[in-house]
């Protein structure tokens, strides 16, 4: 896997070249000499994002069916307000 760096001007002038370069690895696009964007092939993108669980999966908390939760009632003592 090779990393290619191109300027934003070169990217605008040769988008198809940048797309071809992304098949061999990430393409870093610079703006005024500083990295600003990364172009990835869809396969590389899916490899990066596909292995991580989604927030929906994390919130579902699979495997926690055996946990019992029995909260105790709250004990609230009310005092009359002193309006003087």
Task: List helix spans (H) across the chain.
Answer: 8-13, 15-21, 42-50, 55-60
Domain count, the chain: 1
How does residue 8 score in pLDDT terms, banded at 50, 70 and 90? very high
Our separate counts of H helices and E strands in the chain read 4, 3
Range of the domain at 39: 4-54
Domain assignment of residue 66, yes or no: no
Q: Which residues lie across from 35 on neighbouring strands?
A: 30
Domain assignment of residue 42, yes or no: yes
Domain assignment of residue 74, yes or no: no
Q: What percent of the chain has pLDDT over 90?
A: 51
Mean pLDDT of 61-78: 83
Mean pLDDT of 7-18: 95
Is the pLDDT higher at 60 or at 40? 40
Q: Please state the pTM of the whole predicted model.
A: 0.58
Is the pLDDT higher at 4 or at 59? 4
């Amino acid at each position: 896997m090779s990393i290619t760096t191109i300027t934003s001007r070169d990217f605008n002038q040769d988008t198809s070249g940048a797309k071809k370069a992304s098949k061999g690895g990430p393409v870093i696009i610079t703006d005024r000499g500083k990295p600003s964007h990364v172009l990835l092939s869809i396969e590389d993108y899916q490899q990066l994002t596909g292995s991580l669980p989604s927030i929906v999966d994390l919130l579902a908390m699979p495997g926690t069916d055996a946990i019992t939760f029995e909260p105790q009632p709250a004990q609230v003592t009310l005092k009359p307000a002193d309006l003087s």
